[in-house]
Amino acid sequence: MVCIYCNGETDVINSRPQKRLNQIWRRRKCQDCTAVFSTHERASYEDGWRVEAANGSLTPFLKNKLFLSLHTSCAHRTQAIEDATALTNTVISLLRTQNSQGLIEANSIVLTIQEVLNNFDKAAAVHYQAFHPL
């Protein structure tokens, strides 16, 4: 990676995985100007995962689509955006453990979301199930 200040080469001087956020935090130091800055690296699931619908068609996995459906279900909550963000990260973590080939069935996503919402907020789970039946 290049330095954000002078475009020089950088070295990683510290690195830590952040499992909860599905990302890696890195502290970098520029070889030229000696500036120190942090980066956050995360996987792009849109490029690697495909969703298989019941009819067999394949579409790319869209994190924003997942977030919007969870936000809609949590709209009654006072911190709907924060809750939907955390729920999105939780669902992706669970899907990552179920997925080894980059192909996820749409029903598997719905079941995972329903399980997470049932544990989080029953009203949100009922709302989600009304719009996403199996």
Do 125 and 78 fall within a single domain? yes
Number of domains in the chain: 2
Q: Is 39 exposed, middle or buried (0-12, 13-18, 19+ CB in 10 A)?
A: middle
Evaluate if residue 89 carries a pLDDT over 70.
yes
Asked whether residue 68 falls in the same domain as residue 112, the answer is yes
| DSSP code of residue 81 | H
Instruction: Please give the residue range of the domain that contains residue 37.
Output: 10-42
Question: Which of helix, strand or coil describes residue 132?
Answer: coil
- Check whether residue 21 and residue 60 sit in a common domain: no
Q: Which residue has the higher pLDDT, 20 or 120?
A: 120
> What element of type H or E holds 16?
strand 10-18
pTM over 0.75: no
Q: Could you tell me if 76 and 36 lie in one domain? A: no
Q: What is the pLDDT of residue 6?
A: 93
Structure tokens given for 62: 């869209």
Both 30 and 94 in a single domain? no
Average pLDDT over residues 53-79: 93
Domain shared by 28 and 80, yes or no: no
**Assigned domain for 3 exists:** no
Please determine, for residue 127, whether its predicted confidence score (pLDDT) is greater than 90.
yes
For 105-110, what is the mean pLDDT? 92
- Say whether both 22 and 81 belong to one domain: no
Q: Are residues 81 and 110 in the same domain?
A: yes
Model confidence band, residue 100 (pLDDT cutoffs 50, 70, 90): low
Is the pLDDT at 114 greater than 90, yes or no? Answer: yes
Give the mean pLDDT of 96-100.
76
At 107 the pLDDT is 92
Is 64's pLDDT higher than 90? yes
Average pLDDT, the chain: 90
| 13-63: pLDDT as tens digits | 999 988 766 789 999 999 999 999 999 988 777 678 899 988 989 999 999
